[in-house]
Amino acid sequence: MDNKAARAQEIYEAEVNVKNAKAEGKAEGKAEGKAEGEAIGIEKGKIEVAKQLLQNGVGIDVIARSTGLSKEQIEGLQKHTLEEPSVVNF
């Protein structure tokens, strides 16, 4: 291979490596974003369940064991839930 052909091959391989690295980075970022979104969704679900349990008179200890939320988090929800107007469903 002459110098021009060797240099062209090096450039091509570098471009392929950059393209592959970008694709890999994009896939990694997408997977991390999805995992983070799922974690946020799970946490929001726990909070909504805890609010419903509080509104139904379930004790903080039971809610903490059932949802994995801390007692402090539930007490904060309790305070916040009591301040919110109730929604009546017919």
29-41 pLDDT, tens per residue?
Answer: 999 999 999 999 9
Range of the domain at 44: 3-83
> CB under 8 Å to 46, separation ≥6 — which residues?
67, 68, 69
Residue 83 has pLDDT above 70, yes or no: no
Average pLDDT over residues 58-79: 95
Does residue 7 sit within a domain?
yes
Instruction: Name the domain count of the chain.
Output: 1
Domain for residue 89, yes or no? no
Residue 90 has pLDDT above 90, yes or no: no
Tokens found for residue 17: 């490596």
Q: Is residue 90 part of a domain?
A: no
Mean pLDDT, residues 26-51 taken together: 96
Q: Does the residue 88 lie in any domain? A: no
Helix segments in 1-90, DSSP class H: 3-55, 60-67, 71-83
Task: Compute the distance between CA of residue 18 and CA of residue 8 in angstroms, rounded to an integer.
Answer: 15
